[in-house]
Amino acid sequence: MSAIEPPVAAALTTAGVSHRVFVHPGPVHSLEQAAQERGQQPEQIVRSILFRIAEGDYVMALVAGPAQISWKALRRYLGQSR
């Protein structure tokens, strides 16, 4: 891993959660491709998805494997209408 720790890894480290960061050699276009490159099952992967909720304001969601995000629930939680 590089000297700069990704924000997700930093949050996990702070929370005391054991984790491993995988760096892919090129673009990854699907969960299945990521799992195959890592020798894992899709359920073993945590995806990080970044959302822009306002100019210069972002939130990151961590999603387990093939699980889907409920946009409605996320907007409600964040107090956003769109």
Per-residue pLDDT of the chain in tens (82 residues, 90 and over written 9): 455 677 878 888 999 999 888 888 899 999 999 999 999 999 999 888 888 888 999 988 889 999 999 989 999 999 988 7
Are the beta carbons of 51 and 59 closer than 8 angstroms?
Answer: yes
- Residue 43 has what DSSP assignment? G
Give the Cα separation of 76 and 22 in Å (integer): 32
The model's pTM is: 0.64
Q: What are 59's strand-pairing partners?
A: 51
Give the Cα separation of 47 and 65 in Å (integer): 7
User: HSE on the CB side for 2, CA within 13 Å?
Assistant: 6
